[in-house]
Amino acid sequence: MKSGKMYAIDAKMPARRQVFWRYVVMEKMIKMIRGYQMNKYHTILWDVDGTLLDFKKSQEHALHAAFGQFGLVLTPQMLVRYDEINDGFWKRLERGEVDKQTLLTGRFLQLFAEFAIQGVAVNMLQETYQKELGSVYFYLDDSYALCQSLSGRFRQFIVTNGVAATQRGKLRLAGFDAIMEELFISEEIGSVKPERQFFDACFAKIKGFAREGTLIVGDSLTSDMKGGANAGIDTCWYNPNGVKNDTDTAITYEIRHLWDIKKILGER
């Protein structure tokens, strides 16, 4: 029975019932204490592409749509090569070797040069591609249901290097904008993962932020894991394919399936 005090016992109860209810109350309090002890983390920073959402599927859709609008046919060979070029440009961005605009157009310029494609306005094609990229989404490991199940018990934020308009568009469509407290996007922050400045800027915007209770979850060793290490927070590498860690970045946890995060968080 509840009164003004938590789990108060009615003094008018028979003695035996009072003993029983005291036992019940003690059990509940013990479970609550254990729960608090198990929940080492209270704040989760989620990466988007390759973690919550299947970027490869969205990328393929967007490329086919953009190429089609410019009278081009995207072959399987072009798709594979674009993926390689694009990944290379994003890693160069992470290392500070290129800026965002160079990345956005440079990947298509390199692809077109290699496949002898001419007469295409690269800026217009790239804008079409980004628009298409933000119009579709595909969940990984039922990620929406996972984040929804953690809502209310954990503070959740997005940390992404993606293009702002694209990321906000697909996160809204996928429903994540309603779950997350805030979306931190490198283009708006003014620096990128894995730079310490990016994370410092994010942390400054989180009321009551504490490093010791924060965990970043992502699929990229060079962006998410290195970024988390640079920022002084614990890291969880989402590695569904069991790829070998060939970097010198120390990782706190590694998971194969997104829902494995619940064990780390002390959730059932």
- Tell me, yes or no, whether 180 and 92 share the same domain: no
- The gap between the terminal CA atoms of the chain, to the nearest Å, is 27
- Tell me, yes or no, whether 124 and 159 share the same domain: no
- Tell me, yes or no, whether 177 and 232 share the same domain: yes
Count of beta carbons in the 10 Å neighbourhood of residue 82: 21
- Tell me, yes or no, whether 171 and 87 share the same domain: no
What angle do helix axes 122-133 and 55-69 make, rounded to 10 degrees? 140
Report the CATH number at residue 193.
Answer: 3.40.50.1000
At residue 20, the pLDDT reads 62
- Tell me, yes or no, whether 166 and 249 share the same domain: yes
At residue 10, the pLDDT reads 61
Question: Residue 31: inside a domain, yes or no?
Answer: no
pTM for the complete prediction?
Answer: 0.83
Catalytic residue among 10, 47, 49, 246, which? 47
Q: Which residues pair with 157 in a beta bridge?
A: 45, 182
Domain count, the chain: 2
At residue 14, the pLDDT reads 72
- Tell me, yes or no, whether 196 and 98 share the same domain: no
47 a catalytic residue: yes
Residue labelled with tokens 């254990």: 34
- Tell me, yes or no, whether 148 and 211 share the same domain: yes
Rounded Cα–Cα distance for residues 232 and 212 (Å): 8
Measure Cα distances from 188 to 26, 30, 89, 103, 238 in Å: 50, 45, 19, 16, 25
Output the DSSP codes for 107-156: HHHHHHHHTT--S--HHHHHHHHHHHHTT---BSTTHHHHHHHHBTTBEE
Share of the chain above pLDDT 90, in %: 84
pLDDT tens-digit profile of 15-29?
666 566 666 556 554
> Is residue 158 helix, strand or coil?
strand
At residue 23, the pLDDT reads 62
Report the CATH number at residue 97.
Answer: 1.10.150.240
- Tell me, yes or no, whether 158 and 129 share the same domain: no
Cα dihedral across residues 230, 243, 150, 42: positive or negative: negative
Rounded Cα–Cα distance for residues 26 and 91 (Å): 54
Residues spanned by the domain of 88 = 55-133
Of 109, 133, 157, which residue sits at a domain end? 133
Residue 125 has pLDDT above 70, yes or no: yes
